[in-house]
Amino acid sequence: MAESYHLLKRADFIFRNENDWEEILTKTIKRTPQDIINELISSELKGRGGAGFPTGLKWKITAEAKSAEKYVICNADEGEPGTFKDREILSRVPYKVLTAMAVCAHIIGSKKGIIYLRGEYHSLKEALEKSISEFEYYCKKIKLDFSVEVFMGSGAYICGEETALFESLEGHRGEPRNKPPYPTIKGYMDKPTVINNVETLAHTFTIFKYGSKKFYDLGVQFSRGTKLFSVSGDTPKPGIYELELGMSLQDFVNEFGDGDTKAVQVGGASGFLVPRKKFQETAIGYQGKLTGISLPTGGSMMIFNSSRSMFNVLDNYLEFFREESCGQCTPCRVGCQQLLIGIKAVKRGERPAQYLEKLLKLSETMQLTAKCGLGQSVANSFASIVENFREEMIY
Amino acid sequence: MDPIQSLIKELAVKHGRKRESLLPVLQGVVEQERYLSEHSMIEIARELDLPAAEVYGTATFYSFLEHRKMGRFVIRICKTISCSMKGKNQVLLAIQDMLKISTGETTPDGRFSLVETNCLGLCHKAPAMLINEEVYTDLTPEKVRELLSEYMMK
């Protein structure tokens, strides 16, 4: 067993009270931008939306970009199936997120923040806007020129993809852009933009408050700090849990499973399905582990027990992707449709079992050629389910 | 000026007439009217000085910007994996049975529309649904029958 594995460890930072936000904000913006960026870089905080880009580096590149106009955007378009942590953060500790946005704006030279809130979370809007007005009032008091606006989504999973989100903010269909250029150089309105997930911003608050060492000492190599996990499915205790990164999936299942866990979907529909026999060798964290498989995740953990048919699970995912594909690029638009038609045909016996190999090839092609993360990641769940539960796909 | 035109004018004053104002304006109309009629979309195009096809193209991308006539109460029941595993179908059948409509339809009196939607982010309290913006969780057929009876009184 590699040193990078550890037992499941609970933590309590994110939802710890935020009553001191005024003090943290005032104190932090007195530091030099370089100092704050170095603090973030040495904490090794990585993006908690799932992609895992180093947060300090993102802020640094945007700070160095030359432009009179820059933006800070909080991505609250939490649409990945099985994820519900950002809703909780925005309802319970909104000032942490706002403080982080203001600090970021101060560092990169921006005056404008936007929270892109998914349409499904409309019920949070009013309370959030109330917090924002109090927050802006305090910013004025300390002579910090910064305002925040809530922009509502309208029910499109793809808008969680950062460039699709910009398109949506700009009043267009949420179709992802080509990358590069990256948002740090050309983001919202083609201006340098920091776009962070809600949880990532909340973690920076912890780092401003306690210093980077405290954060760095949690978790394991390459996967520092804690993470919120959204636990659902066949579990006696569904909910949101803050855990240190780097635990083995076996330990996770021992804690949250119902004693009959057959598989866990790590990272939502766009993530990977891990069957029981691989729980021990799978760790939860970002790449770079010495041994075993390590899976990064936005925190969605869906647990399936032995009463579940993996065919139905895959069928549900593929229908989701088919509906949520923006339709812009052919591999994703046609691929999602054909994968769904294909597995149904195999299940009904209209196609031979070997047809699954063709479908696997198609999913591989989507991974290589689709324009954005949605189309590219369909292969993750598709291949991990078809390869591990082939018999369930056939009969 | 008809009521739709004045609503759109009002929204344009509030949100501006830039391209970035399009979504908030569309959302504003849906909030009032529950859907975007062809007339609404043409009027929005006129007010924001955009091609009508652009307005239509943008609006139809988003699942909450309905362009079919919807009822006063739009029921959106989540069909994604966690809700599906926790008995969404029984709840859906109970609703269909009570309202006498299938998924995608509106009751003849124009009060209720029923649609299935993708993940609402309430997987730990599955099955879940929205009625307009209100959130309802941990649904059972009994619970949903009771809830709908209340809505029928509204």
Q: What is the pLDDT of residues A162-213, one digit of tens each?
A: 999 999 999 999 999 999 999 999 999 999 999 999 999 999 999 999 999 9
Residue A3, pLDDT score = 45
Give the per-residue SS3 of chain B: CCHHHHHHHHHHHHHCCCHHHHHHHHHHHHHHHCCCCHHHHHHHHHHHCCCHHHHHHHHCCCCCCCCCCCCCEEEEEECCHHHHHCCHHHHHHHHHHHHCCCCCCECCCCCEEEEEECCCCCHHHCCCEEECCEEECCCCHHHHHHHHHHHHHC
Query: Is residue A2 one of the residues assigned to a domain?
Result: no
Q: How far is CA B73 from CA A108, B99, B115, in A?
A: 44, 12, 11
d(CA A361, CA A7): 37
Interface check for A169 against chain B (CB to CB < 8 A): the answer is: yes
User: Crossing angle, helix A33-43 and helix A94-108, to 10 degrees?
Assistant: 120
Q: Mark out chain B residues that contact chain A at CB-CB < 8 A.
A: 18-24, 26-27, 57-58, 61-65, 79-82, 84-85, 117-126, 130, 133-135
Q: What is the DSSP letter of A259?
A: S
Chain B residues in contact with A122 by the CB 8 A cut-off are 133
- A69, A73, A232, best to mutate vs chain B, most B CBs in 10 Å: A232
State the count of interchain CB pairs (< 8 A) between A and B: 120
**CATH code for position A62:** 3.40.50.11540
Query: Is residue A12 one of the residues assigned to a domain?
Result: no
Instruction: List the single residue in B with minimal CA-CA distance to A154.
Output: B64
Q: Collapsing DSSP states into helix, strand and coil, what is residue A8?
A: coil
Domain tally, chain A: 3
- Say whether both A100 and A29 belong to one domain: yes
Helix (H) or strand (E) holding A311: helix A310-324
d(CA A155, CA A175): 14
- Say whether both A53 and A150 belong to one domain: yes
- Say whether both A237 and A269 belong to one domain: yes
What digits encode the pLDDT tens for the residues A233-253?
999 999 999 999 999 999 999
Q: A300 CA to chain B: closest CA distance, Å?
A: 10
**CATH code for position A384:** 1.20.1440.230
- Say whether both A195 and A76 belong to one domain: yes
Chain B residues in contact with A239 by the CB 8 A cut-off are 124
Residue A2, pLDDT score = 42
Which range marks the domain in which residue A195 is found? Answer: 21-216
Chain A residues in contact with B121 by the CB 8 A cut-off are 78-79, 83-84, 86-87, 118, 120-121
**CATH code for position A285:** 3.10.20.600
Chain A residues in contact with B55 by the CB 8 A cut-off are none
Residues in a beta bridge with B116? B77
User: Would the ipTM clear 0.85, i.e. be above it?
Assistant: yes
Q: Can you give the residue ranges of every domain in chain B?
A: 3-59, 73-153
Instruction: Please report, rounded to a whole number, the percentage of residues in chain B having pLDDT higher than 90.
Output: 99
First to last CA, chain A: 37
Contact criterion met (CB < 8 Å) for B63 and A171 = no
Long-range contacts of A289-294, Cβ-Cβ distance < 8 Å, separation of 24 or more: A289/A2, A289/A4, A289/A222, A290/A2, A290/A3, A290/A4, A291/A2, A291/A4, A292/A2, A292/A5, A294/A4, A294/A222, A294/A223
What digits encode the pLDDT tens for the residues A329-351?
999 999 999 999 999 999 999 99
* CB-nearest partner of B20 from A153, A170, A173: A170
Residue A5, pLDDT score = 60
Q: Following CA atoms A98, A101, A106, A111 in sequence, which dihedral angle do they give, to the nearest 10 degrees?
A: -90
Which of residues A216, A249, A275 is at a domain's end?
A216
Residue A293, pLDDT score = 72
- Say whether both A144 and A259 belong to one domain: no
- At the topology level, CATH places domain B73-153 in Glutaredoxin (3.40.30)
Whether residue A180 has a cis bond before it, omega within 30° of 0: yes
Instruction: Please report, rounded to a whole number, the percentage of residues in chain A having pLDDT higher than 70.
Output: 97
Interface check for A385 against chain B (CB to CB < 8 A): the answer is: no
Instruction: Please report, rounded to a whole number, the percentage of residues in chain B having pLDDT higher than 70.
Output: 100
Low-confidence ranges of chain A (pLDDT < 70): 1-6, 287-292
